[in-house]
Homo-oligomer: A and B are copies of this chain.
Amino acid sequence: MKPITVYDIAKEANVSVATVSRVLNNTAPVKKATRDRITELINKYQFQPNALARSLTKKETGMIGIILPDITNPFFPEILAGFDKAARSKGYTYFLCDTVSSNEDNTDQYARESQYLSLLMEKQVDGIVMIGGRIDLAKPGQELTNEVMELGKRVPIVLVNGNLPGAGLTRVAADEKLGAELATQHLIDQGHKEIAIIGGFKHMSNTIARTQGFTRTMEKNGLPIRKEWMINGGFSVRKGFRFMEELLQGKVRPTAVVCVNDLIAFGALKAATKAGLRVPDDLSLVGYDDIPFASYTSPELTTISLKAEELGSQAADILHKLITKNKVPKLTKIVPELRIRESTAPPASLSAN
């Protein structure tokens, strides 16, 4: 029951393997009669050339690797969907490498990235996409940077929504700061003055950028920023719940809060609801990321779309260009969009007027 090979086909067709290979790849003219005879055999035996053997000589595998933190976080499947579509249309298949969700102790995400990186090299992938993880760090360790940088010399790498300062790698990224500015300005435009921002980790670049966008917009509008209204320490619904509780315990309460991501916003929504507040009547909430679930809640969540699909498809396009030795910009910025839904409204003080 051995799988059949070009040799089997060649023998039965009374030609050499070279000729079989020629009709397989249409790489040189073959007499019609011969070609027909061969194609017929190929169909008869459902012959499929062994991709390993082919890749070994061709030095290209049509495989790429995508490394991301946690497929269970709904933001990533969105990116992946965009990536998948674009990658496939170009003939690539990809390995999914999740560095967190399969990790019980959660302690060595970066080690896991390294493992995957070298695994992918062994598998001879044509390119690698990295999303999140070490590239999300505000100040990644130099070793980590070097490791990826070295690899970048051997195989095309695209960084999505992150950076390794100094590594000089090609990136595709949402304009995080702009997104936060959009969110904050939207609240201000509605009349809010007492605005808080919650969620994220202060050692992560996206948190920093988003916070910066918030701060800058507040300042630009001459609004005060209260330190106790800037809470971080996580990205989860549970954390969002806690942060909001904390906010609600304060003597003065904000009338609106910018959440560093949608999950935090959901947690905040729950906490607010539980405390008897009505969103958006008593409190406005803006999320960030626009995961699909954002439009499933009631009220539907006003949020910032990072256009995850586009992020993914751009990553694939750019990686492809890199692989085919085309020139690409060092940084492709995706501009985020405000998605106004139901969780934001003018503050009660205003509507009471």
Which A residues form the contact surface with B (CB < 8 A)?
1, 3, 48-53, 55-56, 61, 63, 70-72, 74, 76-78, 80-81, 84-85, 88, 93-98, 101-104, 118-119, 121-124, 154, 237, 263, 266-267, 269-270, 273-274, 292-293, 295-298
Contact = CB atoms under 8 A, between A and B. Distances in A.
A115 to B, nearest CB: 9
Contacts of A121: 48
A270 B296 contact: yes
- One complex includes copies of this chain to the number of 2
Contacts of A267: 296
A62 to B, nearest CB: 9
A118 B48 contact: yes
B72 A77 contact: yes
B298 A273 contact: yes
Contacts of A98: 80-81, 84
B72 A101 contact: no
B298 A50 contact: no
A296 B237 contact: yes
A144 B124 CA distance: 33
A84 B102 contact: yes
A24 to B, nearest CB: 12
Nearest to A101: B81
A242 to B, nearest CB: 14
Given A77-B101, A95-B96, 15 more contacts: A1-B154, A50-B56, A51-B124, A52-B55, A52-B61, A52-B124, A80-B98, A80-B101, A81-B98, A85-B103, A93-B97, A93-B119, A94-B96, A274-B298, A296-B297
12 contacts: A3-B154, A51-B122, A52-B124, A71-B77, A80-B98, A85-B101, A85-B103, A85-B104, A93-B95, A94-B96, A96-B96, A269-B298
A72 B292 contact: yes
Contacts of A293: 74, 293, 296
The 10 closest A-B CB pairs, nearest first, are: A85-B102, A81-B101, A96-B96, A84-B102, A51-B122, A71-B77, A266-B296, A52-B56, A51-B123, A273-B298
Contacts of A96: 80, 84, 94-96
